Structure formats: C-alpha cells, structure tokens
Structure 1
Amino acid sequence: MFQAIIKRLVGALPALFGVIVVTFILTRALPGDPAAYFAGPAGSQEAIEEVRAKLGLDRSLPEQFVLYLRDLARGDWGYSLTTGQPVLTELAERLPASLELTLVGLVLAVIIAIPLGVLAATRPGSWIDHLCRGITTAGVSLPTFFTGLLLAYVFYFLLGWAPSPLGRLDPYTTAPDFVTGFYLIDSLLAGDGETFVAAASQLALPAITLALFVLAPLARMTRASMLGVLSADFIRTARASGLHPFKVLFTYAFRNALLPVLTTLGMVFSFLLGSNVLVEKVFAWPGIGSFAIEALVASDYAPVQGFVLAMALLYVLLNLLIDVAYGLVDPRARLEA
C-alpha cells in the first residue's frame, strides 16, 4: 500500500505541473491590467509602467513563468497585492474556514443520503423511494447560490431563526484560541459552549446549502449500487441460508455496494471545493474561495494561482485517501495495489 501511495504521488506530478502551466497562462489572459488597477484611476502612464516593472509584468511570458517556478521551488507562492501578505500565509489562515464548511456539509450529506439510498433500494416503488427521487432531482436542479439565498431569506429574514449570514461568528462573539482553525473543534477544546453554539449557528445555513448540493449524487449512487447488489446471486444464497436480514443487508450487500459510493464521495468532495466559492460569497464566509474571487476581480495573479494550486494539491490528497479507503473496504483492491 505504501508503494502504491508513492506511485500515486509521483504520477500526480505531471498533472500538478499542467495545472501550474494552465493557471499561469489563463491568469495572464484575463482582461484588465493589474498595473493600472493598483496605480489607481489617477495614475499616470509613468506610474503604471513603474508598477508594472515592480510586478515583473514588463518581462516576457516565458521569463515570468521561469521566475514563478523558481519561487514555487523555494516555497514562495508570491504576495497578494490587495492585502500585502504572502499568498501562502493568506491561504493557510483561510483554509480552515473553507475545510470546516466543506467537511460539515459533506458529513450532513452522508448522514442523510446513504440511509435514504439504502431505504429506497430495499423498498422500490414505495413513498421513501419517491422521496429519494424527488430530493435527488431537486438537489441536482437547484444551483448552490440560489439555495443559499433562499435559505437565508426564509430562515433569517422571514422567520428569524438563523443569525445574520455574515461570516463565521457574529460580531459579539470572540473567536476561540487557535488550535486547529476549526471553530467547532477549538471551542470544544477550550470548553466554551457558548462559542460552539454561536459557530454552529453561523455554520448551519451554508453547510445545509452544500449538503443539498451533494446529497443528490450520493443518494442516487447508493440506491443504484444497492439495487444492483441486492439482485446478485450471493445475496439470494445468503437469504436462503437463513441469515438474519440485517446481516445480509449490511454485512454483505452494503459493503459490496460501498465502493461506487466511495468513488462518488471523492468526486462530490472535489465539487464541494469548487462550489464553496459561491457559498462563501453568499454567506460572507472568510474562506479561500472568497479570497480567490476578490483577487480575480482585482486581477491579482498570485492569489488566483495559489488558490488553483492549493485545490489541485487537495484533490491529489483526496484521491490518496479514497485509495486507502478502497483497501480498507475491499482487501482485493489492496492486493491489486
């Protein structure tokens, strides 16, 4: 398994290099002149040229790319012109907020989608099966920004049940001491129940928005995979042998149906990282997605390139975790690796 992980990491290097090349070219192809933006509307042509020289934009594209690769090899991801801070520092400070939102949304989706898919597969044609189909259709059809705005309008503006959708904590609550960067975990470690409740309240609506987005493919795949396994010969044999229905369903059927669900889980997690951008803007969530959008509007190259590279690295690590999970669920996958 360790050798398989090393092979995966080595095999991911060309893909990461391709991401770096494509991101570098596309950011330079964006409309707008960052030198003119940062020189200001009253900046003269001489001031614009001076800013362009400081940013290194007066060099040729191949020369800029070589310098960018050199900086990456040194661990220097550049500086954000909008904040004046290193990109790596900005991403490290904002990444826990994005990961906390993504993981909570994913956990909510798994808790609902997998039992719903199993129940729908064991009772085809029933009301629970129709409910599963309706939820999956709605989840696929509704874009995340619309769902987020709708939830904020109903639960904050109309009903007043949710706090204002403005960040990770309300202005009257102090953030817990930094341990993991996850407010829910840090507040529990500090024994601060009030901060935990405040953080959970702020997290509820954006997490539900993301959960609805990924619930549909998870429930649909669980239902389809369970239907295929439940009609297999070994399941009929297990039932004919007098095994308890619970053991047949979960020990034999669900475990064999879990591999496609794990594959879908890895795919939807990567989708969540991308859809985070819209959800963070709707709920003013201070994550890396909103940071990347602000940099994109300002034609600030380094944060955009750093965001895409960070997403690529997270995707590679996620694939490794899925491969390890394959080996735990199905020993045959471990032996093939």
Structure 2
Amino acid sequence: MLRLVADRLITTVPALVGVIVVCFLLTRVLPGDTAAYFAGPTATPQAIEQIRRELGLDRPLPEQFARYVADLARGDLGQSLTTGQPVAADLRARLPASAELTLFGLVLSLIVAIPLGITAAVRQGSMVDHACRIVATTGVSLPVFFTGLLLVTVFYFLLGWAPAPLGRLDTFASPPPELTGFYLVDSLAAGDLETFRAALAQIALPGITLAIFALAPIARITRAAMLAVLASDFIRTARAAGLSGRTVVITYAFRNAMLPVVTTLGMVFSFLLGANVLVEKVFAWPGVGSYAVEALIASDFAPVQGFVLAMAILYIALNLLIDLTYGVIDPRTASAA
C-alpha cells in the first residue's frame, strides 16, 4: 500500500508542474491590466507605470516565473491586492466553507442517487426505473446556476421558506467556536443547536443545487453497473442457492458494482469543485470559488494562481484516495498496481 501511494505521488509531479506553468501563463495573457485597475480610472500613465514596477510586472516573463516558483518553494503564494492579505491565509479562511458546501451536496446526492440506481436496476422497466432516467436527464440538462436561481426564486422569494441567500449564517447568528471550520460540525460539537439550525437553513439550497448536479451521473452509473452485475453467472448461482433477494443485491451485486461508482464519485467531486464557483456567486457563499472570481475580475493574479494550485492539489489527493479505496473494495486492484 505504501508503494502504491509513493508511485501515485511520483506520477503527480509532472501534473503539478504543468498546472503551475499553464496557470502562470494564462494569468499573464488574460485581458486587463492589474496596475491600471488598482491605480484607478483617473491615474496618470506615470502612476500606472510606477505601480507596475512595484508589482514586478515590468520584468520579463521568465524572470517573473522564476520569482513565482521561488516563492512557491518557500510556501508563499503571494499577496492578494484586493484583500491585502496573503493568499495562503485567504485560502485557509475560505476553503472550509467551500469544502463543507461540496461535501454536503455530495452526501445529499449519494443518499438519493445510490438507492435510486439500485432500485432502478432491480426493477428494470418499472416506474422507479423511468423516474431514474428522468432525474438523470434533468440533472444533466439544467445548468447549475439556473438551478440555484430557480430554487432561490421558489423557496425564498415566492414561498418564503428559505432564508436570504447571503452567506453561511444569517445576521442574527454568530459563528460557532472554530474546530474544523465546518459550521454544521462545529455547532454540533459545541452543543449549539440554534446555530446548527441556522447553518443548515443557509446551506440547504446551495447544497441541493449541487446535489441535483451530482445526482444524475451517480444514479446513471449505479444503475448501469448494477444491471451488468445482476446479469452475471455468480448472481444467478447465489439466487439458485436460495439466498434472499436483499442479500444477493446488497452483499454480492452492489459490492461488485462499487468500483465504477467510486470512480464516478471522484469525477463528480472534481466537477462539484468547479460548479462551486457559480453556486457561491449565486448564494453569496464566502468560499474560494467566489474569492477566485472576484480576483479574476480585478486582474489580481496571485489569488487566481493560488486557487488553481489548491484545486489541483485537492484533485490529486482525491485520486489518491480513490486508488486506496479500490484496494479496500477489491484487493486484487492493489496487487495489480
């Protein structure tokens, strides 16, 4: 297992190098002038040029890249010009909000998608099967920002059931004592049920938005994998041996269908990290996605580069976790690796 982890980490080095190089070059060719933006519309060309020299933007690209890599080697992601804080500090402060929202949406989708996919495969051609296809098609077809705006319109503006989509807590609640950075977990750990209910009410709509986006591929792959396994010879043998239908489906069929489902979970989680950017803007969620968008609008390079690098590291860690999960589900995969 340790050898597998070491091999996977070695193969991620070229990917990280590529992310660093491409992200640096893209931020330099994007339209907009950082110095002109922060100098203001009334600034003189001399003032803009002075700011450009102070930021080091007047130097050749190879020299700028060398300085950037040297700073990365020291763990310095640069300083945000929009917030005035180090990018690493901003990411640490905002990443828990994005992670909580992403995990909440993923858990919601799993609670619905996996039972729906299993039931649709077991009862092929039934109403549940048709409902699974409709849900999968709808989830793929609806853009995530449209789903969010639709939920806000219905449940906040029309029905008044949901609180205002203005962040992680309403104005009458205070954040719980920080333990994990996840308000739901920290409020429960502190025994503060009022804050827990307030945090749950705020995360419900954005979480459901992400869950609808993630539900479609998970339900579809679960159904397809279960159909393939249920048609196998060993399933017919298990049924002929007199095992109960629940034992055959859950213990034998679903266990063998888990590998493609786990693979899909990894891809869906990476998609959710990207969808977070839109959802956070719709719901004014103070995560890293909205932080990166605001920096991009202001042509603030350092936060954008830090955001992309952080997402790349999360994606690599997720793929490593998936590889380890393969070994737990089917030890033959670990030995083959």
State the TM bucket, normalised to the shorter chain: over 0.9
- Counterparts of 1:54 and 1:64 in 2: how far apart (Å)? 13
RMSD, aligned CA: 0.6
Q: Structure 2: give runs of 5+ residues left out of the alignment.
A: none
- Counterparts of 1:283 and 1:91 in 2: how far apart (Å)? 19
Give the aligned partner of residue 50 of structure 1: 50
Q: CA deviation at 1:113?
A: 0.2
- Counterparts of 1:314 and 1:262 in 2: how far apart (Å)? 17
Give the aligned partner of residue 71 of structure 1: 71
Give the aligned partner of residue 300 of structure 1: 300
- Counterparts of 1:44 and 1:283 in 2: how far apart (Å)? 38
Give the aligned partner of residue 171 of structure 2: 171
Give the aligned partner of residue 237 of structure 1: 237
- Counterparts of 1:250 and 1:127 in 2: how far apart (Å)? 21
Give the aligned partner of residue 256 of structure 2: 256
- Counterparts of 1:32 and 1:106 in 2: how far apart (Å)? 36
Give the aligned partner of residue 115 of structure 1: 115
Q: CA deviation at 1:247?
A: 1.2
C-alpha deviations, 1:277-325, integer Å up to 9, x for none? Answer: 0000000000000000000000000000000000000000000111111
Partner secondary structure for residue 156 of structure 2: helix
- Counterparts of 1:50 and 1:244 in 2: how far apart (Å)? 78
- Counterparts of 1:286 and 1:177 in 2: how far apart (Å)? 18
Whichever residue aligns with residue 272 of structure 1, its letter is L
Whichever residue aligns with residue 167 of structure 1, its letter is G
- Counterparts of 1:173 and 1:243 in 2: how far apart (Å)? 53
1:7 and 2:7 correspond: yes
C-alpha deviations, 1:200-254, integer Å up to 9, x for none? Answer: 0000000000000010000000000000000011111111111121111111100
Give the aligned partner of residue 159 of structure 2: 159
Partner secondary structure for residue 210 of structure 1: helix
Give the aligned partner of residue 289 of structure 2: 289
- Counterparts of 1:201 and 1:25 in 2: how far apart (Å)? 41
- Counterparts of 1:175 and 1:79 in 2: how far apart (Å)? 26
Q: CA deviation at 1:334?
A: 2.1
1:19 and 2:12 correspond: no
- Counterparts of 2:41 and 2:263 in 1: how far apart (Å)? 50
Give the aligned partner of residue 276 of structure 1: 276
Give the aligned partner of residue 62 of structure 1: 62
- Counterparts of 1:245 and 1:131 in 2: how far apart (Å)? 22
Give the aligned partner of residue 89 of structure 2: 89
- Counterparts of 1:143 and 1:285 in 2: how far apart (Å)? 18
Whichever residue aligns with residue 253 of structure 2, its letter is A
Whichever residue aligns with residue 306 of structure 1, its letter is G
Question: 4+ runs of 1 displaced by more than 3 Å?
Answer: none
- Counterparts of 1:297 and 1:9 in 2: how far apart (Å)? 34
- Counterparts of 2:227 and 2:159 in 1: how far apart (Å)? 40
Show the 5 A alignment for 1:202-213. Answer: 202-213=202-213
Q: Structure 1: give runs of 5+ residues left out of the alignment.
A: none
- Counterparts of 1:314 and 1:291 in 2: how far apart (Å)? 17
Q: Is the 8 A contact 2:4 2:334 kept in 1?
A: no
- Counterparts of 1:281 and 1:2 in 2: how far apart (Å)? 40
Over the matched positions of the two proteins, sequence identity in percent amounts to: 69
- Counterparts of 1:226 and 1:25 in 2: how far apart (Å)? 45
Aligned length: 337
Whichever residue aligns with residue 68 of structure 1, its letter is Y
C-alpha deviations, 1:28-59, integer Å up to 9, x for none? Answer: 00101100001111111111011001111010
- Counterparts of 1:252 and 1:335 in 2: how far apart (Å)? 22
- Counterparts of 2:334 and 2:212 in 1: how far apart (Å)? 33
- Counterparts of 2:334 and 2:68 in 1: how far apart (Å)? 39
C-alpha deviations, 1:104-155, integer Å up to 9, x for none? Answer: 0000000100000000000011000000000000000000000000000000
- Counterparts of 2:73 and 2:26 in 1: how far apart (Å)? 21
Tell me the TM-score normalized by structure 2: 0.99
Partner secondary structure for residue 269 of structure 2: helix
Q: Is the 8 A contact 2:163 2:202 kept in 1?
A: yes
Partner secondary structure for residue 78 of structure 1: coil
Give the aligned partner of residue 330 of structure 2: 330
